[in-house]
Amino acid sequence: NAGVTQTPKFQVLKTGQSMTLQCAQDMNHEYMSWYRQDPGMGLRLIHYSVGAGITDQGEVPNGYNVSRSTTEDFPLRLLSAAPSQTSVYFCASSYSTHPYEQYFGPGTRLTVT
Amino acid sequence: AQRVTQPEKLLSVFKGAPVELKCNYSYSGSPELFWYVQYSRQRLQLLLRHISRESIKGFTADLNKGETSFHLKKPFAQEEDSAMYYCALNSQGGKLIFGQGTELSVKP
């Protein structure tokens, strides 16, 4: 099993550009989520999904869109990148919403200039 | 409001010394708490969860509801323990609320 995979590993965008961060898992997990990690602020939940076709907002959803058309994939879209979105983004998945272990991807380091 | 606070950004100890990483939480109800660890150039991974009351890599954490704390402890630190440690609270529906993180540095 590859676990949770994320692409790309690094990305530089100009303000106003759009892009999609990819996340995939091969563990048949129902629950998937996106976090951003910023110095001194820990990880903050952006969006999450409890199953295919179901998504909801987390703590910091503004500027981001998600969709969940399959169990395996949970892409995160930045429609118009802003410097405030410079961060490290982590995708995670777990078997259910019960507090089982969440498995994290390796992260995507995004810089918006 | 649901919140997790880790008051120390950096904790530096010598090898063999005891370690305590502090975590305080705010939650109405019965909390479910975790410690996650991120070693250098590795992905974030679960270290332990309070419901299992286990010891992983010599680390333990006890939930103290009276003090709303879930401090992580190890009696004798090792250099390989150097990492970033995050305390996390399970909010409704499996959403994790993370603390700010504490960087542990174990010096030889």
Mutation pick from A6, A46, A104, A108 vs chain B, by most beta carbons of B within 10 Å, is A104
Closest Cβ opposite residue B101 in set A42, A92, A105: A42
How far is it, in rounded angstroms, from Cα B66 to Cα A80?
A: 46
Q: Which of A47, A50, A62 is nearest to A98 (CA)?
A: A50
Subunit contact A99:B99, Cβ cutoff 8 A: no
How large is the average pLDDT for residues B64-78? 95
Contact (CB, 8 A) for B70 and B64? yes
pLDDT tens digits for range B34-47: 999 999 989 999 99
Subunit contact A105:B100, Cβ cutoff 8 A: no
Looking at residue B77, its amino acid is A
Q: What is the mean pLDDT of each run of 10 residues along chain A (113 residues)?
A: 93 97 95 93 93 93 97 97 97 79 93 97
CB distance from A112 to chain B under 8 Å? no
